[in-house]
């Protein structure tokens, strides 16, 4: 059975590969930076954040959590030489809509007690104030930065307008 995802992947990739000419890009990002943003379906980082192919690492998780991205950021900075991180969270983020208790209640309601029990130990890393959380993540990254001289900035992407603005 073919699914939405498989169909998009196979058909979209056929078109993409037919015109593909950038097979010789180097492994380390050519512009030495990393973007940390949310997995939200409404964000297309390459297009919306102007990232040329090969230029930057793009790390994505639920809520653009810096803690959750720590291993990837260490690899990016320590092993692949990036010197800049853009933290981009966004308006309308799912992680703004529930705390751990609400999330677990939702799982119980949607999926039943067995499922709720299995997610009991998870910290969903949700947050209630978008700009405050961006500042907090940037501060945390600065305080834990393994290396001096990494430039870290924080931004809001507005899913309603497609615009970014700098917070910190």
Q: Is 154 in the site for a second copy (CB under 8 A)?
A: no
> Which of 132, 134, 137, 155 is the binder for a second copy (CB under 8 A)?
155
- With binding defined as CB under 8 A, does residue 159 bind a second copy? yes
Question: Where in 23-62 is the site for a second copy (CB under 8 A)?
Answer: 23-25, 27-35, 39-44, 46-62
Question: From the CB of 97, what's the least distance to a second copy, in Å?
Answer: 8
Shortest distance (Å) from residue 151 CB to a second copy: 6
d(CA 86, CA 154): 6
3-state per-residue secondary structure call for the chain: CCCHHHHHHHHHHHHHHHCCCCCCCCCCCCCCEEEEEECCCCCCHHHHCCCCCCCEEEEEECCCCCCCCHHHHHHHHHHCCCCEEEEEEECCCHHHCCCHHHHHHHHHHHHCHHHHHHCCCCCCCCCCCHHHHHHHHHHHHHHHCCCCCCEEEEEEEECCCCEEEECC
Residues 70-129 close enough to bind a second copy by CB under 8 A: 71-72, 74-76, 78-80, 84-86, 88, 92, 94-95, 98, 103, 106-107, 110-111, 115, 118-119, 122-125
28 vs 129, beta carbon nearer a second copy: 28
**Which residues in 5-24 contact a second copy (CB under 8 A)?**
5-6, 8-13, 15-17, 20, 22-24
# residues near a second copy by CB under 8 A? 92
């Amino acid at each position: 059975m073919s699914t939405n995802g498989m169909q998009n992947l196979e058909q979209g990739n056929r078109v993409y590969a037919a015109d593909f000419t950038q097979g010789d890009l180097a492994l380390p990002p050519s512009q030495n930076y990393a973007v940390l943003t949310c997995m939200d379906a409404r964000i297309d980082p390459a297009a919306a954040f102007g990232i040329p192919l090969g230029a930057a690492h793009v790390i994505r998780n639920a809520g653009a959590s810096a803690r959750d991205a720590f291993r990837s950021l260490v690899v990016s900075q320590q092993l692949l030489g990036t010197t800049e991180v853009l933290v981009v969270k966004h308006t309308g983020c799912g992680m703004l809509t529930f705390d751990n208790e609400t999330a677990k209640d939702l799982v119980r309601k949607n999926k039943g007690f067995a499922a709720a029990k299995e997610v009991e130990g998870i910290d969903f890393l949700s947050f209630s104030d978008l700009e405050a959380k961006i500042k907090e993540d940037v501060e945390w990254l600065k305080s834990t930065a393994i290396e001096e001289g990494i430039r870290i900035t924080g931004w809001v992407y507005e899913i309603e307008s497609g615009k970014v603005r700098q917070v910190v």
